[in-house]
Amino acid sequence: MVEKTPQSGHDGPYPAPVEVRGFTVRPEWIDYNGHMNVGYYGVAFDQALDVMLEEQLGLGKTYVETAGAGPYILQSHVQFRRELLEGEAFHLRFRLLDHDSKRLIYFGEMYADRDDVLCATQEALIMNVSQETGRGATFPDWARARLARMQADHRALPLHPAVGAALGLRR
């Protein structure tokens, strides 16, 4: 992978958290229970993450097209707090929890626009993957500097109780 200069995003400072707006629950996202199907929460987080990566860090679609590498989610943990209904507007907030030379961990929160109530959270591990080899690839220097800056800008945010939550039965 050839290191290239960033084609999108910026060097900071970064909003804490980064907010992405403009989402609405689509009719095809509704399940037989009358609310947004569990799978579409993941779709919504992914679509908003694409916006955040492109506009803030420069690690979205433009990066993939110009650098020959891109972000792959390796692991994700979603918690559902409140249902979203057809036509309901919502927004997402992201914070960078940690990163190294090839990976990052973020925490996302999904809120209903009507009352700003938390509907879902997602914690995910992303790896930068070479499109040529299909294996993990080191982020370019400019991207590592941006990730460090975003993590520093997000460090003062209070840690949400869902961060690092284990899946299990309470006994």
Q: Using alpha carbons, select from 75, 77, 20, 66 the residue that is nearest to residue 44.
A: 20
Digits of tens for pLDDT over the chain (171 positions)?
A: 555 788 999 999 999 999 999 999 999 999 999 999 999 999 999 999 999 999 999 999 999 999 999 999 999 999 999 999 999 999 999 999 999 999 999 999 999 999 999 999 999 999 999 999 999 999 999 999 999 999 999 999 999 999 999 888 888
- Please, where are the H alpha helices in the chain? 38-52, 61-67, 141-154
Query: For residue 135, which phi and psi values (nearest 5 degrees)?
Result: -115, 165
Strand partners, 136: 129
Q: Using alpha carbons, select from 80, 81, 99, 16 the residue that is nearest to residue 52.
A: 16
Predicted TM-score (pTM) of this structure: 0.94
Per-domain residue ranges of the chain: 18-154
Architecture in CATH of 18-154: Roll (3.10)
